[in-house]
Structure 1
Amino acid sequence: MTHLEWPDYVTIAVYFLITAAIGFSVSRRKTTSEDLFLAGRSLGPAAVGFSLFASNISSDTLVGLPGAAYQTGISAANYEWMAGLVLIFAVFLVLPALMRSKAQTMPELMGARFDRRMRLYLSAITLFLSIVLDTAGTLYAGSLITTTFLPHLNMTEVCYAIALFAAVYTAAGGLRAVVYTDFMQAIVLLFGSGCLAYIVFGKFDFSWAKVTAEIPGDKLSLIRPIDDPGVPWLGLVTGLPIVGFYYWTMNQYVIQRVFGARDLRTAGRASLIAATLKLLPLFLMVLPGAMAIKLLPDLEHADQVFPRMVAEFTPTGLTGLIVAGIIAALMSTCSSTLNSSATLITLDFVQPHKPQWSSEKLAWFGRITTIVVALIAATWAPMIQHFSGLWAYLQQIFAFVASPLVAVFLYGLLSTRLGSRAAFRGLVSGHVFSALLFIPFLKDWVPIHFTIVGGVIFAATVLLTAMWAWILGDADRPAPGDAHIAVFARQGLERITMDVKIGAFTIIAVIAVILYLFR
């Protein structure tokens, strides 16, 4: 039974007031485009690290992860710890090139390595994914939770209300407001999720032996057979790293925080903070979802797990805190995706055609764009309810669309010989191959898990790109100035400080222990 009483409403209201106050206080500062989109490149490691985590753990994660665990087991947590490995990989290979390039968007870095076609191609696809997946998925999950507690509200109306609120404070304060509110939201989110996990574990008398006795063993294992419907082991070592690499290094709404870091050392430390925080969802969100198999056995849809656990197991007052945490997660990702979408449209599409515009005028255009993008995402969000599940909706699309992008980007980082024409033709060929697989996959004609398909698409794109490079030959060799991005990436290990290296290897060791315990 859903229950929100006056202490819950007070908690939620206080959260909204604090969020709005942060956004509008920041809006009274600088108004240049660099401050709006990159916070003046002045952010510290804690702010960037917690913001990376908060922007990722959104309402779609809070709904999708427990739902996936309820349906297929804790292998859904492989997306979370794998993110830690991807972030560490990015510290040594991607961040040196990214920070030395002084780019403002990831497509701009792609353009610096190749050409303007590649910049616009990546920017357009990133915009599509940001609006249709990240923003719309977040709004849908948030409206699903809201209508669980307030069933008299309409899902479409809730989507528009949430989108407009997030758009207004994001447009006002820019990336600095997003990051500052993210820090607060990450704390609220972790505390609220921790409270719910404690309550759910208490239903088993805080006994892990009782959990393992009452929950099927295959639901409590991270390493699964190749035919597992959750995350098969082959998909774990092929598709997941690819999707994770796109999400954490090429997805503008995530990597934009790193662009705002003071320097390479700050960016490295921030990535390690985020990698550490990404180990927590296994315990705070995924395991409670698996435990709900015993506690809530008759749910019609797996996406109902998290809101039902909150509604049925938490007392008055704490319910409001957890709902505030849900709103915190929702607002964090929504504001992040809106700000990054406005950044891409303004800097990749508008500024090159309006070089005479001042920085202040670009900032105002970015604010208007933020609100327009929010309305588009809110219009699409209710349509997601017609798909089989939120988590599958998000991850499958990412696997098919992102794999060719990652293949060509990594090729360009690791090789100084890949030219722009071969890269562009290889990327287009990879997406054509992906599209040819997507239709039979939706029809269930391809009996392969989408994480494995992502690995196949990645490998095919690498081969197609190499084929085009061979066909074009020396006529497509990049100029020395274009290949310098790959040189920066190769020199990355030399520029990483010892404290960051020690932290990275420590996190890898912790991940190895987790895999051993939940093998």
Structure 2
Amino acid sequence: MNVTGFICFLLFLGLVAAVAIYNTRKMRLNTTSAYFMGNRTLGFWMVGFSLFLTNMSCNTLIGENEFVYTNDMSVMCWGMSSVLAMLIVAEFFLPVYLKMGAITTPDFLGQRFGPRLKKFVSVFFLASYVISLIPTILYGSAVALNGIFHVDQVLGVSYFAAIWLLVVLVGIIGCCYTVLGGFRAITVSDLVQGAGLLIGGILLLVFGLRYLGQGSVLQGVETILSAKKEHLNAIGAAHDPIPFSTLFTGMFLINLYYWGMEQYIMQQALAARSLSQGQKGISLAAFGKLLAPLFLNVPGLIAVHLYPQLTNTATVFPKLVADVLPPVITGFIAAVVFGAAISTFNAGLNSSGTLFIMNLYKQWRRSAGDRELVKAARIFQLSITVIAMAFSPFISRFDGGFYYYIQKMSSFFSVPVFTVMIVGFLTKKVSETAATVGLLFFIVAYAVSQLVFDLPVHYLHVLAILFLVTVALMLAIARWKPMAAPYSPKNMAVVDLKPWRNRHWFFGLLLAFMAAAFLLFSKAGIAQ
């Protein structure tokens, strides 16, 4: 372990913690609005950086660079295509949530279909966070930190033991942020760590290319552009792990769900002080997604040339950081990676508490005041942290790769909920019965398609097919037994609903850059 790098790592973490404590020192966390939503006071800078950093977890840093190393740049499609989904959310979804005064995205289901479906989907979300989201965040951060600081070698323990130790460390620190500081402390730290991530990504890119080019950045670029060019292609063929056609089927649906309905993501935008600030914040995060390949994918390209025979491909990113950077910057990058992990972990933990307290516990304890609700939230968050810490190290035993595990597990929870919510958005007479049947049908059908039958169809295409079938099923049930009275949304807004006036110009510019990125990383561009 490099002592200088480790000291710099601790110093940057201390700086972030100090900034968060200073900016939240006068804030009382004795109400659910303060603890879960920061009293809805976020400006667009906080919304944007918080969205960006929550999405930019260790899972993504580890998984996408590993995918580029083992396959090609087609994994970039997830991030690039999400720009379109984010703009749709800013334009259409966010105004609906803010108009109804939503704290959680299932609140919409409660108002549109009824309380039973709201509770069911809240439990569904919580299950996905405990099984998939929080454990993978802990595992990904542990892999990254062990790769940078070689904890297993320093302590003389097995790789599995080192991962478990680091999982516990990240879990404890992240839990302290959430339980002691609340939502506002999380977003303040995200602002600092998000800026650090952008700076760190540029530094890693420069030093990595210079290391590859034996002292010359330009020579490093030339090496990437002249050899093993199959890794530069982001336009996957039909037989590739991520065919380009999936952008228009299951990937689009998952991205819309993730940015517009996933509680731990949408909670950042729901805490905006106005619709305009929320739309600007989502647009800022979308701009960050356009820059993200610099540290999500390009390090993987550099590693292709530096390490042609890696046995543990999940270590691509941390190995590159440890090998090419000076000790001071290594510590800084490690702190940024750690901060990204903590940010996503905190968001997942905070949203889990929000869902449990506001949608389940509060319905059971109707007489409970804010103090009891906040106390119960803290106990619940501590409990699921312990569960996740016990489970997450075993992800290393999963056959198929870390990134594959994340995408496969999330698909079981995402598109079924998306289907019900989008039908709720677009129709007025589909009943709670139709929505419940549709949700259960989708879950069972997808599970059977993936676990029982070996279908010769990409799982993202399967999701799109099931989406269409489920929508047709829900509409058929609604035609047979519609709601007694058509749904009429209520205006319960607690923030200004005036939209951002110049948003469409900025949206168009973002979409143009998205298309240019696909063109660049294609056989018509640098992958010729």
Q: TM-score, normalised by structure 1?
A: 0.92
Counterpart AA for 1:183: L
2:440 alignment partner in structure 1: 428
Between 68-77 and 400-409, the greater mean CA deviation after superposition: 400-409
1:501 alignment partner in structure 2: 504
**1:28 Cα deviation (Å)?**
5.0
User: Deviation digits for residues 41-69 of structure 1, max 9, x if unmatched?
Assistant: 11100001100000110111111110011
SS of the residue aligned with 2:272? coil
Task: Show the 5 A alignment for 1:71-86.
Answer: 71-86=70-85
In structure 2, distance between residues paired with 1:158 and 1:175: 24
In structure 1, distance between residues paired with 2:167 and 2:73: 29
In structure 1, distance between residues paired with 2:141 and 2:92: 35
User: Deviation digits for residues 164-220 of structure 1, max 9, x if unmatched?
Assistant: 111112111111111111111111122222211222222144254432211233x21
1:15 alignment partner in structure 2: 12
* Structure 1 gap segments, 5+ residues each: 489-493
Q: Is the 1:27–1:174 contact (alpha carbons within 8 Å) kept by the matching residues of 2?
A: no
Counterpart AA for 1:228: D
Q: Is the 2:275–2:500 contact (alpha carbons within 8 Å) kept by the matching residues of 1?
A: no
Between 94-103 and 199-208, the greater mean CA deviation after superposition: 199-208
1:342 alignment partner in structure 2: 353
In structure 2, distance between residues paired with 1:406 and 1:236: 16
Structure 1 segments of 4+ aligned residues over 6 angstroms from their partners = none
**1:479 Cα deviation (Å)?**
3.4
2:405 alignment partner in structure 1: 393
Match for 1:468 among 465, 468, 477? Answer: 477
User: Deviation digits for residues 486-508 of structure 1, max 9, x if unmatched?
Assistant: x99xxxxx964331121111101
Match for 1:196 among 204, 227, 230? Answer: 204
**1:301 Cα deviation (Å)?**
2.6
In structure 2, distance between residues paired with 1:39 and 1:268: 18
In structure 2, distance between residues paired with 1:272 and 1:399: 25
Q: How much is the aligned-residue C-alpha RMSD, in angstroms?
A: 1.9
In structure 2, distance between residues paired with 1:261 and 1:144: 34
Task: Show the 5 A alignment for 1:56-75.
Answer: 56-75=55-74
Task: Show the 5 A alignment for 1:82-481.
Answer: 82-148=81-147, 149=149, 150-151=151-152, 152=155, 154-202=162-210, 203-204=212-213, 205-207=217-219, 208-217=221-230, 219-229=231-241, 231-387=242-398, 388-440=400-452, 445-472=454-481, 476-477=482-483, 479-480=485-486
> What is the percentage of aligned positions where both structures have the same residue?
26
In structure 2, distance between residues paired with 1:478 and 1:254: 34
1:518 alignment partner in structure 2: 521
Q: Is the 1:69–1:290 contact (alpha carbons within 8 Å) kept by the matching residues of 2?
A: yes
Q: Is the 1:65–1:76 contact (alpha carbons within 8 Å) kept by the matching residues of 2?
A: yes
In structure 1, distance between residues paired with 2:182 and 2:298: 35
Counterpart AA for 1:10: I
In structure 2, distance between residues paired with 1:28 and 1:370: 23
Q: Is the 1:96–1:495 contact (alpha carbons within 8 Å) kept by the matching residues of 2?
A: no
Q: Is the 1:160–1:378 contact (alpha carbons within 8 Å) kept by the matching residues of 2?
A: yes
Q: TM-score, normalised by structure 2?
A: 0.91
SS of the residue aligned with 1:300? coil
1:467–1:360: structure 2 CA closer, same or farther, 3 Å change rule?
Answer: same
SS of the residue aligned with 1:184? helix
1:102–1:286: structure 2 CA closer, same or farther, 3 Å change rule?
Answer: same
Q: Is the 2:110–2:118 contact (alpha carbons within 8 Å) kept by the matching residues of 1?
A: yes
1:428–1:116: structure 2 CA closer, same or farther, 3 Å change rule?
Answer: same
User: Deviation digits for residues 207-239 of structure 1, max 9, x if unmatched?
Assistant: 54432211233x21222211112x102212111
In structure 1, distance between residues paired with 2:25 and 2:359: 23
2:489 alignment partner in structure 1: 484
